[in-house]
Each structure stands twice: as structure tokens, then as C-alpha cells.
Amino acid sequence: MSDYFQAVILDWAGTTVDYGCLAPAQVFIAGFAAHGVRITMDEARAPMGRYKRDHIAAILAQPAVAQRWQAAHGRPPADSDVAALFADFVPRQMASLAQHSDLIPGVVETVAALRAAGYKIGSCTGYTRAMMEIILPLARAAGYAPDALVCPDEVPAGRPAPWMCFQNAMQLNVYPMSALVKIGDTPADMAEGRNAGMWTIGLAKTGNELGLSLAEVTVLPRATLTARLAAARARLLAAGAHEVVDGLADIMPALERLHDRHAAGEKP
């Protein structure tokens, strides 16, 4: 099956750990509240997947948030506010990461299937290296250890820039980029993969776009779940996803479809 494809590059929160991508969303809301500004869950989640410092700047750039900042502080938000919010965010996020590092169901089995099919396993994230030093050993102990990990503070820029994917390709020693598949749960992941010249698969159910824990998903009315999954799928496709599935556990058939598209002459 992977006679052309050589590697996948997996996102972390919402893709392999932290079902629903809950950890950062809650911390952004608390961090802004500490600076006197209320933000909604949707506002907190919209830029998800980006380097956390860029994510804070993107939240502040939303007109409704900027207006509330102006009302609370008597002036528009400035770069120094992004720096202050990020400095405050880092320890808050570090403190809550360990509680949100459980592997998403099916990850261990799916990664084993990917390896059996000949794929190398790269990874990248919006978390800093210091944050990943908390998550990585916990994931490893639970049975998931990728061959490579690149963080946004180790490259010139995080998503949607392609640098973390290029660095993964170098560490894995695989090329061309069209032989690698980017898999993640946010529009920023899809943009990153497309900017890197990669095939790209979005995950609609286990990550930020649905934004619910497994327990919450389980009790959601069927019609509500169907409608919200369709909206999540549409956002990921609009951001450049070649395929969208519910979660990493559903990835093998999607990879087979990409392989067919590649065999038919399509390029990412």
C-alpha cells in the first residue's frame, strides 16, 4: 500500500492525545480572564493548531475581542499585550498538560498498522518543546512514540508555515514531500500540509473542530452530532484537506484513497 507514501506527520492535541483538544482551549479563556477580558470558547478555538504565541495574537486580532480589550484597558491591544498574555499562558498550560495527555482511543493500534504498512511516523504541534517534554514521556509510557517531533519554537515559524513538516522530512530522511501525508485536527494543520506540498487528511471528530470530550460526544443527540461533524468537515475541506475522517483510527481507508488518487496522476 505504501509503495509511494513513506511517512505520515501527525499532529498531537486532538489527533493522538487530548480527545477534543480541551487543554489549550480552557487555558486561553482563563488567561484572557486574568487580564480582564472575557473570550468565548469559539473565539479561543478559532486559531487552534498555531504556535501558542501566534494563537494568542490571532485571538486578540478578532474584532470582537479587540473591542472588549479596548473597553477593559482603555486602549487597543498591543504587541506587548501578546507578550504578557503568552508569558502568563505558558505556566498555566504547563500545569494542566499532564491531565490532558491521555492517548485518543485507537492511536496505538493505528500507529502499529501504519508502521506495518511501511510508514515512518513524524509529528509536530502548536506546543513549545518545553510543553512537549511533559507530554512526550507520558505518551511513550502509554505506547505511542513517533520517530520524530518538531515544535514551532525550533523553526522560523509555526503553522501555517511548512517548516515543521520540512524538518520532520529531514529527520526521517524521506522525500519528496508529496510522499508524506499530514494528518491533523485543525484548519491550521491543513494549511501547513498544503503549504509543504503534502497530501493532507483532516480529523473532524476527535479534535478541535468538534471540540468535545469523548464523554460529551457519547451523550450528544445523533442529529446534533451529525450536523456539527458536517460543519467541522466543511471547515477542514475549505482549509485544504484532501480527505476528512472522524479520527486517526479511521485513517487507513483514507490513505488508500489518497494512494489511488496518486496512482491516477493527481498531485497534492
Q: Pattern of binders to Mg ion over 177-196, x per CB under 5 A? A: --------x-----------
Q: Please list every residue from 10 through 69 that binds Mg ion, using CB under 5 A.
A: 11, 13-14
Choice between 13 and 149, CB closer to Mg ion? 13
Q: To 10 degrees, the CA torsion angle through 149, 82, 49, 221?
A: 140
Choice between 39 and 183, CB closer to Mg ion? 183
Q: Pattern of binders to Mg ion over 136-175, x per CB under 5 A? A: ----------------------------------------
Choice between 37 and 132, CB closer to Mg ion? 132
Give the list of residues 6+ apart from residue 72 with CB closer than 8 angstroms, or none: 35, 36, 37
Piece of 6-14, 103-111, 153-161, 240-248 that binds Mg ion (CB under 5 A): 6-14
Instruction: Please give the radius of gyration of the chain, using alpha carbons only, rounded to the nearest integer.
Output: 18
* 3-class secondary structure per residue, 167-203: HHHHHHCCCCHHHEEEEECCHHHHHHHHHCCCEEEEE
Closest CA to 79 of 51, 63, 65, 60: 60
Considering the complex, what minimum distance in angstroms separates the CB of residue 16 from Mg ion?
9
Piece of 9-17, 150-158, 193-201, 214-222 that binds Mg ion (CB under 5 A): 9-17
Considering the complex, what minimum distance in angstroms separates the CB of residue 116 from Mg ion?
25
Give the list of residues 6+ apart from residue 177 with CB closer than 8 angstroms, or none: 165, 166, 169, 196, 197, 198
Choice between 37 and 212, CB closer to Mg ion? 212
Beta partners for residue 180, in sequence order: 7
Active-site positions read 11, 52
Considering the complex, what minimum distance in angstroms separates the CB of residue 21 from Mg ion?
5
108 CB-side CA count, 13 A:
9
Pairing, β 7-10 against β 180-184: parallel
**Which residue number is nearest to Mg ion in terms of Cβ?**
14
Considering the complex, what minimum distance in angstroms separates the CB of residue 104 from Mg ion?
11
Q: How many chain residues interact with Mg ion (CB under 5 A)?
A: 4
Considering the complex, what minimum distance in angstroms separates the CB of residue 48 from Mg ion?
6
Evaluate whether 102 touches 142 at the Cβ level (below 8 Å). Answer: yes
Choice between 77 and 122, CB closer to Mg ion? 122
* Cα(120)–Cα(122) distance, integer angstroms: 7
By the criterion CB under 5 A, which residues form the site for Mg ion? Answer: 11, 13-14, 185
